[in-house]
Amino acid sequence: MRNVTLIPGDGTGPELTAAMRRVVEASGAKVQWEVVDAGEGVMAKHGTPLPKYVLDSVQKTRVAVKGPITTPIGSGFRSVNVALRKEFDLYANIRPCSYMEGVKTPIKNVNLVIVRENTEDLYAGIEHMIGKDAAESIKIITRAGTERIARSAFEYAVKYGRKKVTIVHKANIMKCTDGLFLETSREIAKAYPQIQCEDRIVDNMAMQLVQKPELYDILLCPNLYGDILSDLCAGLIGGLGVAPGANLGKDCAIFEAIHGSAPKYKGMNKVNPTAVILSAALMLEYIGEQDAYERISKAVRQVIAEGKKVTYDLGGTAGTSDMADEMIRVMTKR
């Protein structure tokens, strides 16, 4: 039995993670959840959205599944997501995006993975006001940080039989920071001659993904570009409700959907649980529960392909719990 930290999150997070837990249990995975609360809901009691007991739990288990947590816009506390990534040095953000039969989208030839650097770039949060009428943010790109995320992208390609890595940058304008990212990534690529390597300027990359996503396989991105492009790619495959994510470090990992907490839908049993469930499936693969990972992945695809018990964003009328029930039915039918 493997102990796994579960952070239910804010807004729709608790109902999504509850659905996920039932699906994971039905898969036969040997997982013991250690539930800890973080986010807006604990601010009044603990004075922080990320209490020490959360960090202690992840420190102990070394693997977690996290529901979406609200991040205030413009003021308030900084992102809990970013804080967790920094605390445990989760430098690689892996976001698979692949078309699933049954999703109502005109683009059906998407099968790519965003490999996003997760600790540097503008997300380092080094910013300040200059007087009262100007603000400055410092963009950090290091050779060491780029080397390890580039190596992660090429190792992922080798492990999963991917053929090509595309380095995404804006080195034509940001010649020092993005220039270093591009130069260092190209150096790492030389150790993987069996994997094709190319690069694209980020704005052109956005256009290319909309026009001909079938040409791309793995996108190696600095933090900000990876965040933006992964949402774009999620849009190509049906939306954020079907897009999972993994945050990986040297010996620790946190898995989460890439969407937000959707507080306006809290308690309505309405939001698609697929992204959280697929994120948990990635967690199961990470801890060696390969059979459970495959059972969940197949059940998700079958339920979406059949289209009978899917949520509103997929053209159906099912609720969060109903869709999870259908996935469980598919996994447990004889």
- Enumerate the active-site residues: 123, 170, 203, 227
In this structure, the number of other CB atoms found within 10 A of the CB of residue 225 comes to: 24
Q: Is the pLDDT of residue 266 over 80?
A: yes
Cβ neighbors of 204 (< 8 A, separation 6 or more) are none
Is residue 161 domain-resident?
yes
Indicate whether 114 and 7 sit together in one domain: no
Q: Which of 209, 236, 263 is the last residue of a domain?
A: 236
Is residue 99 domain-resident?
no
Q: Which of 217, 236, 255 is the last residue of a domain?
A: 236
Cα–Cα–Cα angle for 55, 75, 94, rounded to 5 degrees? 50
Indicate whether 249 and 133 sit together in one domain: no
Q: Is the pLDDT of residue 96 over 70?
A: yes
Q: Is the pLDDT of residue 334 over 80?
A: no
Is residue 51 domain-resident?
yes
Cβ neighbors of 58 (< 8 A, separation 6 or more) are 5, 64, 84, 87, 88, 252, 254
Indicate whether 230 and 116 sit together in one domain: yes
Is residue 244 domain-resident?
yes
How far is 213 from 108, CA to CA, in rounded Å?
9
Return the percentage of the chain with pLDDT > 70, whole number. Answer: 97
The mean pLDDT value for 186-197 works out to 98
For 273-312, b where at least 16 C-beta lie within 10 A, e where not — what string? bbbbbbbbbbbbbebebeebbebbbebbbbbbeeeebbbe
Q: Is the pLDDT of residue 322 over 60?
A: yes
Q: Is the pLDDT of residue 74 over 90?
A: no
Q: How many domains does the chain have?
A: 2
Q: What is the DSSP letter of 313?
A: G
pLDDT for the residue numbered 30: 96
State the residue for tokens 């197949």: 298
How far is 63 from 257, CA to CA, in rounded Å?
15
Q: Which of 184, 214, 236 is the last residue of a domain?
A: 236
Q: 303 is written with which tokens?
A: 């339920």
Return the percentage of the chain with pLDDT > 90, whole number. Answer: 87
Pairing relation of β-strands 246-248 and 92-98?
antiparallel
Position 317 confidence tier, pLDDT thresholds 50, 70, 90: very high
The DSSP code sequence of 7-19 is E--STTHHHHHHH
How far is 92 from 155, CA to CA, in rounded Å?
12
| Cβ–Cβ under 8 Å, residues 254 and 88 | yes
How far is 263 from 12, CA to CA, in rounded Å?
6
Q: Is the pLDDT of residue 38 over 60?
A: yes
Is residue 211 domain-resident?
yes
Cβ neighbors of 117 (< 8 A, separation 6 or more) are 91, 92, 93, 145, 146, 149, 181, 221, 222, 223, 226
The mean pLDDT value for 115-144 works out to 94
Q: Give the DSSP H/E element, type plus range, for residue 321.
A: helix 320-332
Q: Is the pLDDT of residue 185 over 50?
A: yes
How far is 206 from 47, CA to CA, in rounded Å?
40
Q: What is the mean pLDDT of the chain?
A: 94
Indicate whether 125 and 247 sit together in one domain: no
The mean pLDDT value for 23-50 works out to 92
The mean pLDDT value for 74-84 works out to 71
Domain CATH code at residue 207: 3.40.718.10
- Among 182, 199, 116, which Cα is nearest to 152's? 116
The mean pLDDT value for 14-19 works out to 97
Window from 70-74, 161-165, 288-292 with minimum mean pLDDT: 70-74
The mean pLDDT value for 159-176 works out to 98
pLDDT for the residue numbered 44: 81
Higher pLDDT, 106 or 114: 114
pLDDT for the residue numbered 47: 87
Indicate whether 43 and 68 sit together in one domain: yes
Higher pLDDT, 44 or 198: 198
Q: What is the DSSP letter of 156?
A: H
Indicate whether 139 and 203 sit together in one domain: yes
Q: 276 is written with which tokens?
A: 């959280």
Is residue 29 domain-resident?
yes
Indicate whether 230 and 114 sit together in one domain: yes
Q: Is the pLDDT of residue 75 over 70?
A: no
Q: Give the DSSP H/E element, type plus range, for residue 86.
A: helix 80-87
Is residue 42 domain-resident?
yes
Indicate whether 5 and 58 sit together in one domain: yes
The mean pLDDT value for 211-233 works out to 97
pLDDT for the residue numbered 125: 82
How far is 234 from 210, CA to CA, in rounded Å?
11
Q: Is the pLDDT of residue 71 over 90?
A: no
Q: Determine the structural domain holding residue 88 and report its residue range.
A: 1-93+240-334
Indicate whether 155 and 258 sit together in one domain: no
Q: 127 is written with which tokens?
A: 């910013």
Is residue 219 domain-resident?
yes
Indicate whether 266 and 327 sit together in one domain: yes
The mean pLDDT value for 16-39 works out to 97
Indicate whether 222 and 266 sit together in one domain: no
The DSSP code sequence of 184-196 is HHHHHHTT-TTSE
Indicate whether 231 and 247 sit together in one domain: no
